[in-house]
Amino acid sequence: MNEPPTSKLTYKPRVKLEVFYTGGSVVLSRQGQLACACGDEVKVVDAANGAVLHTLPGDTEPVTALAFSPSGTHIFSASRSLLQKSWNVSTGECVRSWKGHRAPIAALAVDSTGHLLASGSADRSVRVWDVDGGYCTHAFAGHSGVVLSVLFHPKQLMLISAGDDADVRVWDLVDKSCVAVLKGHFSAVTALSLSPDGWSLLSGGRDKVAFTWDLRTHTKVATVPVYEALEAATFLPAHAGFPGTTREGVTDSKAKQCQFFATAGEKGVLKIWRSDTGRCVYEQSAEAGSNLGGQLTHVALLPGNQGLMAVTADCRLLFYQLQVQEDSKPALQLTTQLIGNNDEITDLHFIGSHDSPSHVAVSTNSEHIRLFDLERLNCTATLAGHTDIVLSLDALPLAPGRTLLASGAKDNTVRLWEAPLGRCLAAAAGHVAAVSALAFSRRGAAFLVSGGADKLLKVWDVSPFAVASTLGSGAPAELKATAAVAAHDKDINAVAISPNDALVCSGSQDRTAKVWKLPSLVLALTLRGHKRGIWAVQFSPVDQCVVTASGDKTIKLWALTDGSCLKTFEGHTASVLRCAFLSAGTQVLSTGGDGLVKLWNVRSSECIGTFDEHEDKIWALAVGGTQQSLLASGGGDATINIWEDCTEQDQATAAAQEKEAVLKQQELSNALQAEDYGAAARLAFQLKQPGRLLAVVTSTTDQGGVEAERILANLVAAFTPEELKLSLEYVREWNTNARHCHAAQVLLRALLLKHPPQTLLGIPGFGDLLAALSLYSQRHFSRIDRLMRSSFLLDYTLAAMNVLTPEREPASSAQPDAGSFDCAVGTGADCSAQARSVAPRSWAQETKDWPDGCNASAGWHLASFSKTQTQAETIDGSMLAILCCNV
């Protein structure tokens, strides 16, 4: 189908934000990589941009503990299945797995050499494992509760453990004994950390107290009340310049030698403490935004000791860099915020100009709105103000760098924000139920229309906020409604404004869409025809029509002149949740509960593209960029996809590939004509023409097989795993036909000789391919074996027939002597002398020396069995059997 030049044909994901952390263990390597527990899987993430580098498959049970080797080359994991696994980070392969505890493991640690792994379990034991040998070297028992933390000494053969029995135990790995029990806590000890010199131990727990201990004497050095239940703590390196750790004008040695540590806990803010005085020298301000997710569950030093990483209970990873400015104290500046799990995405919208948006605003299954930059999808701001889940968003660009963002939530309010700064400008509290639909005016910041579960449609005046001087001044203002109407019998799911700001369309769960005149909200049309509730509505940018998407799996196009249904688009297998016009109204884009994005041609009602990048229903869709070249989608799988129009690139690539294919096709024809079978086989495989490749292999096989083996050996030597799989699929298809089985076996032999079993076993679906190959190969072998066995009968018959003597018809009942007969012409001559061993000669050669009488009276029957040499080379040559009888 020929599409107009401006039509879209292909969208591909440019950047993707997927779930990589669902809570629990998270560790940071010295090389800047993260290992995060994600359900039963482990995600290896680049800490710089949040990109998932590897996904380590699980065993259906949640991951409970993780640890990095010091070199960053291996990850150790433990799950509720009691399995411990060692993974190669670069390849993502499991190196070793073993089961060593009777209950789930809560903590893992690796020593400074990378050869020993310690595990603390809910079975109250601590075990030490030899990583290379895969065996247990130490088994320590002594805790009376779950072991929550384990830690190796960096310089000594010493191990420290702590658990919910409030004890901290020190173990000697040489004597295999407990050398000290450090008592002082009254609740679970959740955090352990060693000072840079290795002789001061920090312990923190849920009893809201932190202790420092001297490991030389096993005595308590300091008690620091922290006034919150701690989940994590770490010593800070000396002279690193962290806030509060340097004191100008202080020269006493005690101040210089004091230790500092950072804590994270239930209050959700980072604090830095001085151990000798027990004083908090730095507390993170609430404006830093880290306290929006509740408590902090983890804190760790960044590589190079230039900052801290904190993890929140709502699966955010916050990276703070040390900022030192002139005439100001050092501070921790939030530089990167990675969202490990967005949960269900309810709506999203581009922020910035229509042609070049810079951010995307996302509402999730929470009361916060997050802004992500479009380059890497890093969270740059979190908008807090709603008290319940945010359901709907809309944005209106005002000027370069300034956008009005409207949000509606289950707290029955509408809020107006300045993006990307994130300041709340105004709030409206006119609805009495959840606000589920919003739409700005299309010609400037004049008004905002909202609809919700209270079945009301409201118009709000937002014109005062179009002026830059009023943005962000003072406390949030109160929006005023200019019109309201009870629009539907059930919840309103969607609203849209016409391009000329004269009409508003609302879609409801009552299966109708209604068109209203603005600004007074007078009913103009009621669109009936859907069998389920309507989830989305949209006006055409050029024609007088509106499109609706419904739970009945259809999209309908309606005329605004009389309300008639012009077209119905069918193709989704679940509810259609969002829709939008593209290409000057000639195309429609839709998303559904089936996780698919579909592109439709309005004129022909055909689906011209289906894009599958989501695993659950797609609730949110936004269109932006130059000539609508960008799409954003999000849904129930907590994944955000930024799509890019690749129509021109794909067309150019297809044209280049077609041109290259024509050239290669000509080269293939030339190679076949010149009997250059090596080049012909290579070109046939590159062109993915198994028929031509089969012809080449068959031709060389008929010439003896040696040439075929040489050609195929050179061809398959450099195959990639994808090419190996394709060639095995060719072999499988050829092997199903007895005529082509010889060629299939030659190619299979070349593959098996050139590639080791480990490579073949790594091919996806190799097991199914092997089963099919084995079945048909056994069938062909059995057929050849039967043929070979049958040939033995002929060999036996020829060996037994040393002399062939024709018999004449007996005149009486007397039996003639064996080996002689009387000639029919009555000569009485004994023709037995003419009998001879029959060699494989022609009939004329065999009978030319016989007497004429014998030739005239005797009848001969000749049977010749010829066998062609097979690929298995079990049958050779030809045999001739001459059977004679008296006629």
Tell me which of 837 and 496 has the higher pLDDT.
Answer: 496
Per-residue pLDDT at 876:
31
Residue 221 within any structural domain of the chain: yes
- Would you say residue 693 has pLDDT above 60? yes
Whether residues 350 and 479 share a domain: the answer is: yes
Q: Which residue has the higher pLDDT, 356 or 576?
A: 576
pLDDT: which is higher, 443 or 672? 443
**363 Cα distance to chain centroid:** 23
pLDDT, tens only, 37-89: 999 999 999 998 888 999 999 999 999 999 999 999 999 999 999 999 999 99
Provide the pLDDT confidence category of residue 206 given band limits of 50, 70 and 90. Answer: very high
User: Cβ distance 808 to 858 under 8 Å?
Assistant: yes
pLDDT band at residue 729 under the 50/70/90 scheme: confident
Determine the number of helices (DSSP H) and then strands (DSSP E) in the chain: 11, 59
Q: For 872, which DSSP code? A: T
- Picking from 449, 467, 486, the residue at the C-terminal end of a domain is 486
Is residue 841 predicted with pLDDT exceeding 60?
Answer: no
535 contacts 551 by C-beta, under 8 angstroms: yes
Whether 495 and 470 map to the same domain: the answer is: no
**Is residue 414 situated within a structural domain?**
yes
What pLDDT digit, counting tens, does each position of 393-413 carry? 999 998 888 899 999 999 999
Does residue 95 form part of some domain?
no
Output the pLDDT for position 672.
77
What band does 483 get if pLDDT is binned at 50, 70 and 90? very high
- Judge whether residue 298 has pLDDT over 60: yes
Domains of the chain: total: 5
**Range picked from 251-255, 381-385, 504-508 for highest mean pLDDT:** 504-508
CB 622 within 8 A of CB 656: no
**pLDDT value at position 880?**
27
Backbone φ and ψ for 594, nearest 5 degrees, come out as: -85, 5
User: Average per-residue pLDDT in the chain?
Assistant: 84
- 850 and 762 in a single domain? The answer is no
Taking only the tens place, the pLDDT of each residue in 100-120 is 899 999 999 999 999 999 999
CA dist 653 → 12, 185, 650, 657, 668 (Å): 14, 67, 5, 6, 22
Q: How big is the chain by its Cα radius of gyration, in Å?
A: 41
Q: Concatenated DSSP letters for 693-709?
A: HHHHHHHHHHTTSHHHH
Q: What residues does 606 pair with on adjacent strands?
A: 601
Structure token pair of residue 783 = 């057929």
pLDDT, tens digit, 9 for 90 and up, residues 487-515: 999 999 999 999 999 999 999 999 999 99
The residue with tokens 């629009």 is 487
Question: Which one of 291, 323, 355 terminates a domain?
Answer: 323
The pLDDT tens digits of the residues spanning 747-796 come to 888 888 888 888 888 888 888 888 888 888 888 888 888 888 888 888 87
| Least confident stretch, 367-381, 596-610, 835-849, 873-887 | 873-887
Task: Please tell me the number of Cα atoms within 13 Å of 588 on its side-chain side.
Answer: 32
Residue 327 clears pLDDT 90, i.e. is over it: no
Share of the chain above pLDDT 70, in %: 85
Whether 24 has a pLDDT exceeding 90, the answer reads yes
Helices assigned H by DSSP within 18-163: none
Measured between alpha carbons, how far is 271 from 244 in angstroms, rounded to an integer? 10
Sort strands 331-339 and 33-38 into parallel, antiparallel or unpaired.
unpaired
- Is residue 869 predicted with pLDDT exceeding 60? no
Q: Can you give the pTM of this predicted structure?
A: 0.77
Tokens 């300034």 correspond to what residue?
A: 402
Whether residue 602 sits in one domain with residue 574: yes
Nearest to 689 by CA among 715, 726, 642: 726
Q: Is the pLDDT of residue 535 over 90?
A: yes
pLDDT at 695 (0 to 100): 82
Q: Is residue 130 part of a domain?
A: no
The number of beta carbons lying within 10 Å of the beta carbon of residue 175 is: 9
Helix (H, G, I), strand (E, B) or coil at 657: helix
Q: How far apart are CA 44 and CA 485, in angstroms?
A: 52
Region 689-700: mean pLDDT is 81
User: Which is it for strands 357-364 and 345-352: parallel, antiparallel or unpaired?
Assistant: antiparallel
CA 698, CA 512: separation in Å to the nearest integer? Answer: 66
**Cis peptide upstream of residue 519 (ω within 30 degrees of 0):** yes
Residue 3, pLDDT score: 47
Please, what's the b/e burial string for 138-153 (b: 16 or more CB within 10 A of its CB; e: otherwise)?
Answer: bebebbeebbbbbbbb
Residues above pLDDT 90, as percent of the chain = 55
Q: Which two tokens stand for residue 390?
A: 């945010």
Q: Same domain for 515 and 482?
A: no
Tell me whether strands 456-461 and 390-399 are parallel, antiparallel or unpaired: unpaired
Q: Is the dihedral of CA 679, 682, 686, 691 positive or negative?
A: positive
- Going by pLDDT thresholds of 50, 70 and 90, the confidence category of residue 539 is very high
Judgement on whether residues 200 and 305 belong to the same structural domain of the protein = yes
- Judge whether residue 832 has pLDDT over 70: no
- Which amino acid appears at position 646 of this protein? C
Q: What pLDDT was estimated at residue 674?
A: 80
Both 655 and 741 in one domain: the answer is yes
Q: Select the more confidently predicted residue: 330 or 10.
A: 10
Contact of 762 with 93, CB cutoff 8 Å = no
Interval 555-584 mean pLDDT: 96
The average pLDDT across 809-813 equals 50
Q: 801 or 586: which carries more pLDDT confidence?
A: 586
Helix (H) or strand (E) holding 120: strand 116-121
Instruction: Write down the pLDDT at residue 711.
Output: 77
Q: Is residue 45 within 8 Å of residue 55, measured between CB atoms? A: no
Q: Are residues 574 and 708 in the same domain?
A: no
Full strand arrangement of the beta sheet holding 492-497: 492-497, 503-508, 512-517, 522-528
Q: Are 798 and 804 in contact (CB under 8 A)?
A: no
Residue that is written with structure tokens 């080996």 in the block:
819
3-state secondary structure of 766: helix
Is the same domain home to 482 and 357?
yes
The answer as to whether 719 is a domain residue is: yes
Q: What is the pLDDT of residue 721?
A: 83
| The predicted structure's pLDDT at residue 857 | 33
Same domain as 502, residue 383? no
Of the candidate ranges 294-303, 390-399, 598-607, the one whose mean pLDDT is the lowest: 294-303
**Average pLDDT in the 564-591 region?**
96
Picking from 242, 244, 337, 330, the residue whose alpha carbon sits closest to that of residue 289 is 337
Whether the predicted pLDDT of 856 surpasses 80: no
Task: Give CA–CA dist 475/472, Å, rounded.
Answer: 8
Least confident range of 286-295, 831-840, 862-871: 862-871
Question: In this predicted structure, what is the pLDDT of residue 561?
Answer: 94
Q: Is residue 296 part of a domain?
A: yes
* Strand 477-478 relative to strand 423-428, pairing: parallel
Answer positive or negative: Cα dihedral of 472, 473, 476, 479.
negative
Structural domain ending residue among the three candidates 486, 503, 520:
486
Q: Report which of 476, 451, 445 is spatially closest to residue 392, judged by C-alpha positions.
A: 451
- What is the pLDDT at residue 809? 54
Range of the domain at 397: 343-486
Residue 64 phi/psi, 5° resolution?
-110, -25
Find the CATH number of the domain harbouring 436: 2.130.10.10
Find the farthest-apart pair of alpha carbons in the chain and give their distance in angstroms, rounded.
Answer: 147
Verify that 350 and 482 share a domain, yes or no: yes
Residues 399 and 387 in one domain: yes
Is residue 398 assigned to a domain? yes
The answer on pLDDT for 881 being more than 60 is no
Q: 301 falls in which pLDDT band (50, 70, 90)?
A: very high
**What is the full DSSP assignment across 429-460?**
---SS-EEEEEE-SSSSSEEEEEETT-EEEEE
Q: Does residue 50 lie in a domain region?
A: no
Rounded mean pLDDT of 851-870?
Answer: 34
The answer to whether residues 288 and 268 touch, using CB atoms and an 8 Å cutoff, is: no
Region of residue 501 (left: phi > 0; alpha: psi -120 to 50; beta: else): left
**Contact (Cβ atoms closer than 8 angstroms) between residue 633 and residue 592:** no
Distance between CA atoms of residues 640 and 631, nearest Å:
10
